[in-house]
Structure formats: structure tokens, C-alpha cells
Amino acid sequence: MTLAELLPSTGCSTAPVLEPGLWPDNTRLDGSDLVLGGVRASRLAARFGTPCQVLDELTVRARAKAFRTALPDAEVVFAGKSLPCPEVYRWMAQEGLSLDVSSAGELALARAAGFPAERIIMHGNVKTAEDLKAALEYGVSRVVVDSFDEIAQLGALARHGQEVMVRVTPGVDAHTHAAIATGVEDQKFGFSLASGAALEAVLRVVEQPSLRLTGLHCHIGSQVRHVASYEEATRRMIGLIASCGVRIEQLDLGGGFCAPYLPGESSFDLFGFAQRVRGTVNYECGLHRVPVPRVLIEPGRAVVANAGVTLYRVCAVKHGASRTFVAVDGGMSDNPRPALYGAGYAVRLVGRGGRPKPVTVVGRHCEAGDVLAENVLLPADVHAGDVLAVPVTGAYHHALASNYNQVCRPPVVAVKDGVARPVVRRETEEDLLRRYL
């Protein structure tokens, strides 16, 4: 059973001509216009301008609920880096999720949202002294340490009893893109299990009088499709628990659950994950005769990716030797993922249909690699002024956006029950100029 099958109905059916599994739950077609959360995409583009990142609130909440339903005994921790936004953090708090942050900046957003400190975890492969001080000042519940230097620094800064988790590199290949594989050996994340560094890190935390070891953490990568990869990581982590010689109360298995980006791609098998990982934890703990730890998981992309749609306006159509280029008013400044690791996207023209033709949708930036989608079908008469909609843009779009070519970053507009409201305003040229001295 997939994540999509576990989600409750939100009362709106998706038209069969829409690519199944890609669009927010409340998406439908009204004639040729796309309706997102009860609001026409053409009206959103006219009111808020383009590019515009649209986020369906009910879809976000439904996916958060699905994780809590599938894993009622686990702590579900929203990966805040996937969509750093105080309003989204408030939704997560209301749905009973915890939150992980990886910098003082993300923590500042959590504080602005009033997110409870006792449900915040800070981790990241490099935490500066400012990051650690911010975490200690706010009283975050746990800090995930990622280096021996960090253990020493946190031990010197912390008050007595700061809870700590040790990030372990379990040596598990998640069979994903190399740029988002974090569980294999010889990379920057965590302490190697195979080399003995992970066990040494556990001992060093225990030696720090101001720290209290509460758990182990691992993360094997992003866009992980195979539950078996999580099972293998679980086995290795419980083997380490058995070697620690101290009580390990929590086991964080990370996130990375895949989301479908292209037609035909499946959602993550959340029900299978819950059943198989729970079984593996219980079996391995019984085998090694150690107490069963509380499991934590960290979904981010799987909660927000398919809740997002980005609207662009076509600026120009150019015919090359073998391709037709449709150039839009955004690009790699609001979506660098195709350039970073070849991510693919579907594209739909809003407001009308027509005889389809394969085209390449490109951005406005001064890079040949600023390509948003290749070989997608759009009406042959696509022209300047048309509005295009790109689904599955809720995760890592706002987070990774930049000002390349000094292009202002787009707004994030939440839609729900026919009402649209900006939760992140559009950046302005005045915003850009404020930083220059």
C-alpha cells in the first residue's frame, strides 16, 4: 500500500486527464483551467504574478497525518529544510509532528512559528558555534552530533544533561543519485560504522558530563524507493546499539522517502515501510537482547513535494535546429534541481489545450544548463503570455531558491477551500539592495 492509498479523501476528485499522483489532492480541471485548492491557476497567476509557488495546505496536512497514522508509536519529525517557512512549521506543530532544523536560521523560523522547543531536533553535518548556541538558548530537545570536534564543542557549551544523538553512517547504499546518497562510506555525513568511529563517538559523548546520550541517528539518502534499504540500515544500527554498552532510548532512521515527480512513478510504500521496519526492530532487538528503542523518522519531501505547483509565464518561444525552446520567467533560481542532479518534471499549459508537440522548457538565466524540463508535450501553438504549471515543487524549491542574475525569489501562496493567501511574499529589488553597502 502506497502513501497515496493511505491518505484520506479531501473531498475533491482529480480529473483523469491530469497525471495521476503528481498534483495536490485538491487539484481538478474546470474546462481547460487548472484549479488548485479551489482557486483557478489563471487567477493565481494574475493576482500574485509569476513565477509563483502554490502550496495546497490540505495536501500537506493529509500527508503529515498519513505518517502519524502508519507509525502511531514512532516520533514523526518533519525535515524543516525541505520547506523552511514559519506557516508550514505551524501546520506541522498542529498535526503533532516534531521538527528538525540544521542551522540557527531554520531555528529562527521555528521560533517565529512558536514551535515547541521540546519537539525540535538540531542536526546537520556542520553546526557552527552560533548554531549550537542558538539551539542551547532555545532549549531544543536533542542535538545530533556529526564530528568529534562538535562533541567537544557542544560539551563545552552545554548545560548539564543536554540530550544528544550520534549520527552514524551505516554503509547502506540507498540506490539513489550520488549527490543525495548519504548512507554510504567515505562521505561527509556522520560517523562511520565500519571504521569504528561511530562507537568511539558514543564513548566520547558518554564521557562529557554536560551531555546525555539518548539515541543514534542515521540517514541513508533522498528519493529512496526500496524499503529493504531501511531494513538493512535498521539491522546495522541495532547491531551498534548492542555494542554500545549503554542504554539507547531512541533510534532515528532518518527520512528520504521518495515522491513521484514524473507520470508512472510510484509513491513510497509507507504501509510496507511501517510493517517491515517495525518487525525488523523487534526481531533484531530480541536477537541482540537489547531494549526496543523508540523509532523516529524524518519525512520532508514526502510531506510537501506533491502539495506544491509552480506557475510560470512564457516569455519567448524559439525554434532550434532540432528542438523547440519554451523560455519562462523563472528557472534555476527557483528550481536548481534539474541542474544539480538531473531531476525531471512534468509541465502543463494552463487555460487551453491543443495538438501536442515535444518542447524543452528553459529558464531565464545565463547558463546553458538552466533547463527545467526536456521533451515535454505542450500545445504546438504555445506562445509568449501563456501560463505553465509544474507540479511536485513543494520540496526544496523555496529552500534552494537563489538570486542568480539578481532575480527576485517568488512568493509561496497557500491555497485552501477556495482561499489563497501568501505565506512568503515575493522578494523585491529593495530587498536585494538592502544588503549592499
Q: Which residues are tagged catalytic?
A: 366
Joined together, the cell numbers standing for residue 27 give 487539484
Nearest to 376 by CA among 267, 262, 260: 262
> What is the Cα gyration radius of the chain?
22
Rounded Cα–Cα distance for residues 117 and 312 (Å): 38
Rounded Cα–Cα distance for residues 271 and 281 (Å): 16
Joined together, the cell numbers standing for residue 277 give 521496519
Rounded Cα–Cα distance for residues 421 and 432 (Å): 23
Number of Cβ within a 10 Å radius of residue 124? 19
